[in-house]
Amino acid sequence: GENVEQHPSTLSVQEGDSAVIKCTYSDSASNYFPWYKQELGKRPQLIIDIRSNVGEKKDQRIAVTLNKTAKHFSLHITETQPEDSAVYFCAASKFQGAQKLVFGQGTRLTINP
């Protein structure tokens, strides 16, 4: 089955700097890669997703890139702000109706003022 590895497990950056979180997946048939943000004690929020027919997708300060050959994808956050502090999860699935997502272990991002 699919296995998703996420790095780093913790990341600390200065406010205004960029943050990058990387994930690798094992199943070459996976073709859908969402990212979630989870604040402490809260529910996960879907922040961006990408399908395998697209190499990059942007939404304001957030972007996701995908390298199908190497089987890895990354989340990029630019101009970080204190409210970006949270745990971020990547996930992978085969996009076919119901999304049987396999999640990474999470990255705790801390933005230092």
Catalog residues that contact other proteins under the rule CB under 8 A.
1, 4, 6, 32, 34, 43-46, 49, 89, 91, 93, 97-106
According to DSSP, residue 93 is labeled: B
Cβ atoms < 10 Å from Cβ of 56: 12
Minimum separation from the CB atom of position 93 to other proteins (A): 8
**Residue with smaller CB distance to other proteins, 15 or 36:** 36
According to DSSP, residue 28 is labeled: T
Minimum separation from the CB atom of position 15 to other proteins (A): 25
Bridge pairing between strands 107-112 and 10-14 = parallel
Minimum separation from the CB atom of position 105 to other proteins (A): 5
Angle at 62 between CA 57 and CA 83, to 5 degrees: 160
**Residue with smaller CB distance to other proteins, 17 or 95:** 95
